[in-house]
Protein backbone atom coordinates (compact mmCIF):
# COMPACT_ATOMS: atom_id res chain seq x y z
CA UNK A 1 0.00 0.00 0.00
CA UNK A 2 1.28 3.47 -0.84
CA UNK A 3 2.10 5.91 1.87
CA UNK A 4 -0.50 8.38 0.50
CA UNK A 5 -3.18 5.69 0.80
CA UNK A 6 -2.29 5.21 4.45
CA UNK A 7 -2.54 8.96 5.11
CA UNK A 8 -6.06 9.14 3.72
CA UNK A 9 -8.05 7.38 6.41
CA UNK A 10 -11.76 6.82 5.95
CA UNK A 11 -13.62 8.03 9.02
CA UNK A 12 -17.30 8.26 9.85
CA UNK A 13 -17.09 9.49 13.44
CA UNK A 14 -15.76 12.98 12.96
CA UNK A 15 -18.71 14.17 10.90
CA UNK A 16 -22.48 13.87 10.45
CA UNK A 17 -24.67 15.30 7.68
CA UNK A 18 -28.42 15.57 8.19
CA UNK A 19 -31.25 15.41 7.27
CA UNK A 20 -30.84 12.97 4.44
CA UNK A 21 -32.90 12.96 2.28
CA UNK A 22 -33.61 16.68 2.44
CA UNK A 23 -35.19 19.58 0.61
CA UNK A 24 -32.30 22.03 0.42
CA UNK A 25 -31.02 22.81 3.91
CA UNK A 26 -28.15 20.61 5.14
CA UNK A 27 -26.53 20.60 8.54
CA UNK A 28 -22.96 19.37 8.84
CA UNK A 29 -21.87 18.58 12.38
CA UNK A 30 -18.11 18.24 12.62
CA UNK A 31 -15.84 17.71 15.61
CA UNK A 32 -12.64 19.02 14.12
CA UNK A 33 -11.16 22.51 13.97
CA UNK A 34 -11.52 22.99 10.25
CA UNK A 35 -12.56 20.95 7.24
CA UNK A 36 -13.49 21.29 3.59
CA UNK A 37 -16.49 19.91 1.78
CA UNK A 38 -17.22 19.27 -1.89
CA UNK A 39 -20.66 18.37 -3.25
CA UNK A 40 -20.67 16.51 -6.56
CA UNK A 41 -23.72 15.86 -8.74
CA UNK A 42 -24.51 12.57 -10.47
CA UNK A 43 -22.53 13.68 -13.55
CA UNK A 44 -19.37 14.15 -11.46
CA UNK A 45 -19.50 17.96 -11.53
CA UNK A 46 -18.50 19.91 -8.42
CA UNK A 47 -21.60 22.00 -7.60
CA UNK A 48 -20.55 23.39 -4.21
CA UNK A 49 -17.46 23.59 -2.02
CA UNK A 50 -16.24 25.57 0.95
CA UNK A 51 -14.56 25.33 4.33
CA UNK A 52 -16.46 24.52 7.52
CA UNK A 53 -15.55 24.83 11.17
CA UNK A 54 -16.07 22.88 14.38
CA UNK A 55 -19.71 22.47 15.42
CA UNK A 56 -22.90 22.90 13.41
CA UNK A 57 -22.64 24.29 9.89
CA UNK A 58 -25.84 24.96 7.96
CA UNK A 59 -25.79 24.97 4.16
CA UNK A 60 -28.54 26.23 1.89
CA UNK A 61 -28.41 23.70 -0.90
CA UNK A 62 -30.90 24.66 -3.61
CA UNK A 63 -30.06 22.44 -6.55
CA UNK A 64 -32.31 20.24 -8.66
CA UNK A 65 -33.72 17.09 -7.09
CA UNK A 66 -31.39 14.15 -7.42
CA UNK A 67 -28.51 12.20 -5.98
CA UNK A 68 -25.32 13.97 -4.90
CA UNK A 69 -22.12 12.97 -3.10
CA UNK A 70 -20.66 15.04 -0.29
CA UNK A 71 -16.97 14.56 0.48
CA UNK A 72 -15.53 16.12 3.62
CA UNK A 73 -11.84 16.19 4.51
CA UNK A 74 -10.33 17.56 7.70
CA UNK A 75 -6.92 19.06 8.41
CA UNK A 76 -5.55 15.59 9.26
CA UNK A 77 -6.63 14.22 5.84
CA UNK A 78 -9.46 12.16 7.32
CA UNK A 79 -12.07 11.57 4.64
CA UNK A 80 -15.82 11.25 5.03
CA UNK A 81 -18.20 10.58 2.13
CA UNK A 82 -21.96 10.20 1.95
CA UNK A 83 -24.63 10.05 -0.72
CA UNK A 84 -27.18 12.87 -0.44
CA UNK A 85 -30.71 12.68 -1.77
CA UNK A 86 -32.25 16.05 -2.59
CA UNK A 87 -36.04 16.08 -2.95
Report the run of H or E that residue 3 belongs to, with start and end.
Answer: helix 3-7
Predicted confidence at residue 3, as pLDDT, reads: 43
Predicted confidence at residue 41, as pLDDT, reads: 96
Predicted confidence at residue 13, as pLDDT, reads: 61
**Contact at 8 Å (CB) between 15 and 70?**
no
CATH, domain 3-86, list 3.40.50.620, 2.60.40.10, 3.30.43.10, 1.20.210.10: 2.60.40.10
Residue 44: which region, alpha, beta or left (left: phi > 0; alpha: psi -120 to 50)?
Answer: left
Predicted confidence at residue 8, as pLDDT, reads: 43
Whole-structure pTM value: 0.80
Predicted confidence at residue 32, as pLDDT, reads: 76
Predicted confidence at residue 33, as pLDDT, reads: 77
**Other C-beta atoms within 10 Å of 36: how many?**
13
- Cα–Cα dist 24/5, whole Å: 33
Residues of the chain with pLDDT under 50: 1-12
Amino acid sequence: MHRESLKLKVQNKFCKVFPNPNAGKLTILINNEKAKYIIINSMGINVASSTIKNGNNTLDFHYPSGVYEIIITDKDNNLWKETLIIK
